[in-house]
A and B are shown apart, each in its own frame.
Chain A
Amino acid sequence: MAPKKFSNQTGQALVEMLLVIPMLFLLTSGAIQFTMLFQARNAFDKACGEAARQYAANQLKDSSAITDTIWKDMGFYQSYFNKQSLSISTQAPKATIANTFFNAIDGLGPLAAKIKSYLINYTGHAWTVTICCRPPSLVAVIFPVGIPFQSQLTILKYPN
């Protein structure tokens, strides 16, 4: 006996929509989460810049104050990040012509070094601030520990 073809196409559009809606939903939510990740990244960068500005204005003294300030400045976006993952590593800024000259002065003796430190009283740091952002549920498998964000800043401040 030959198979009977289904000639009734009523409800085809509904079926198609039921198939498509989850895909649309996935795509839309992916776009929204992508945008929120961008905003979180932006908030993190802004918080790092604000902390650097406060450091230059001598309002922050040490690394713990800097991390607290960065965390506080992230405000609404704190829920996106893991506070324990926030870390700062500091290094000296890259050497300049002036640094070469100042290092030569240090070699002249302790008195010269003391005079130099009295006169040249500005200091600087190169920061590398790292934090992990909690991944959206869609990509949690790819980033089990979170999406790492990193910000690099270099600033001088006076007086030391």
Chain B
Amino acid sequence: MIRIKHWTKNPSGQVLLATLLFCFIFMALFIGLYKSGMLYNAKEKAIRSSNLTALSAGAVYANGLQIVRLTNVALLLAAAVDILAIAAALEITGGFSLIIPSKFKDLNTRKLVQDVQSILFGINQPIGIYPLLISDETISIASQNGLKSTFPSLNPLSWSLPIPPSPILIFNVTTLGPGLAQAIVPNMALKFRTANFFSDTVPKPKKIYKYKSRKDGAIHYLNSDQVELAPNSQNKGQMRVKKGVGLEGEGYFVAEEVNAGLSKLNAVINIANFLAALQLDVTDRDIPAVHNIFVYASYPTSIKDPQNNYAEIQTLSQVNVLGTGLAAWNVNDPPYQATLAPTDPVELVKQLSIQTLLSQAISSIKLPSISNIFGTVVNGP
């Protein structure tokens, strides 16, 4: 010890000590520089990988929307075949059978096409074949771009819990909230257009009420503006002639005329329900049309954090799929295009707090199943 103390007072010893100190400082500087550079590089790679994965998902999605257009053309042809068959049947049975739909000689080939559309695109189904294809391709591209993938094979048993699925795809959502559970299930935001958008042109039947005069026995007819509700213990929907407006027979109980005017036809045909049940072609679910995919993924790095775990960079990318429409007459329009939404993926992750929700799901006492993780994400922390 005395020798070391004597040596440190020696000029050469002091020089050596100073050199060692500087080497230590520079080594720390270099290591810090290297790690920060690697992390910055990893962040840029994560953003790039996430963007490319989202673009790939958008490409498959756009292809699917073009297939929707083609199936709508097939539906139009099937409807034409059905109409021809109905026209031929009318000539045989007579034109009056037009009033009663059940007597149509309807081949119903359009229903076959609609069933195919329903299964293929997941309309009115829990999930569709093409949305699964979008997920499949996107997850494959994500792993090839260096993003973490916990879908190594088709066998769900090989996935190790409690790691949540990665990447997570969020379909067709503009604001997160109660719709998140629906958005996590692969979908294409489609629905069947129904004919009830015509219903505004169908004159709505007005209710007609009548009462019999006590003076002369004449039957008086009133419309719904001239009667008011007068419930009693026997009939909670009892109507009476409005009081205080100067009508003859005010206060008289009235009965509804069910077979008056257009209501008679409506009772037979029930136009509104018929139109609502009549499915036409496939159209966008939302107005205005929204077709987008968020890709939420992790990019693993080789840098260890203070907890001695390999750091992962969370990233989120959004792609919008834009086009002119899905109807059959849009089939020759320019195809749908996927465009990257200009956002900062790392900031979006913070805003959406997805990482917090997933971390809470993982750190909960019970090992969560995949559905529980999604439930936590839906219901919030």
Contact = CB atoms under 8 A, between A and B. Distances in A.
A78 B19 CA distance: 38
Interface in B16-61: 19, 22, 26, 29-30, 33-34, 37, 40-41, 44-45, 48, 51-52, 55-56, 58-60
Contacts of A65: none
Given A122-B63, A156-B59, A156-B141, 13 more contacts: A24-B22, A34-B34, A46-B48, A49-B51, A52-B52, A56-B52, A56-B56, A97-B136, A98-B133, A122-B62, A126-B144, A154-B144, A156-B55
Contact of A46 (B44, B66, B143): B44
A43 B45 CA distance: 11
A6 to B, nearest CB: 12
A157 interface: yes
B80 to A, nearest CB: 21
B33 A34 contact: yes
Interface of B: 11, 15, 19, 22, 26, 29-30, 33-34, 37, 40-41, 44-45, 48, 51-52, 55-56, 58-60, 62-63, 66-67, 70, 133, 136-137, 140-141, 143-146, 154, 335-340
A57 to B, nearest CB: 8
Interface of A: 9, 12, 16, 20, 24, 27, 31, 34-35, 38, 41-42, 45-46, 48-49, 52-53, 56-57, 93-94, 96-98, 119-122, 124, 126, 152-159
B51 A121 contact: no
A31 B30 contact: yes
Given A45-B48, A96-B136, A121-B63, A158 B40 contact: no
Given A27-B26, A31-B30, A158 B62 contact: yes
B33 A56 contact: no
Contacts of A152: 144-146
Given A12-B11, A53-B52, A155-B52, A31 B63 contact: no
A16 B52 contact: no
Nearest to A56: B55
A158 B59 contact: yes
Given A45-B48, A46-B48, A155-B55, A31 B29 contact: yes
A141 B44 CA distance: 30
* A-B CB proximity, top 8 nearest: A49-B48, A158-B59, A156-B56, A154-B144, A38-B37, A96-B140, A156-B59, A56-B55
A34 B36 CA distance: 12
A41 B55 CA distance: 23
B152 to A, nearest CB: 12
B51 to A, nearest CB: 7
A9 B52 CA distance: 66
A93 B144 contact: yes
Nearest to B36: A38
Given A34-B33, A156-B137, A97 B67 contact: no
Contacts of A53: 51-52, 55, 340
Given A42-B44, A53-B340, A96-B140, A155 B56 contact: yes
Contacts of A38: 37, 40-41
A56 B33 CA distance: 35
Contacts of A154: 52, 56, 141, 144-145
A123 to B, nearest CB: 9
B56 A124 contact: yes
Contacts of A42: 40-41, 44
A16 B63 contact: no
A56 B338 contact: yes
20 contacts: A35-B37, A46-B44, A48-B48, A49-B52, A53-B51, A56-B56, A56-B338, A93-B141, A97-B136, A98-B137, A119-B70, A122-B59, A124-B141, A153-B48, A153-B52, A155-B52, A156-B59, A158-B58, A158-B62, A158-B63
Given A31-B29, A31-B30, A156-B141, A45 B62 contact: no
Contacts of B15: 16
Nearest to A28: B26
Contacts of A126: 144
Contacts of B44: 42, 45-46
B293 to A, nearest CB: 13
A24 B22 CA distance: 9
A74 B99 CA distance: 72
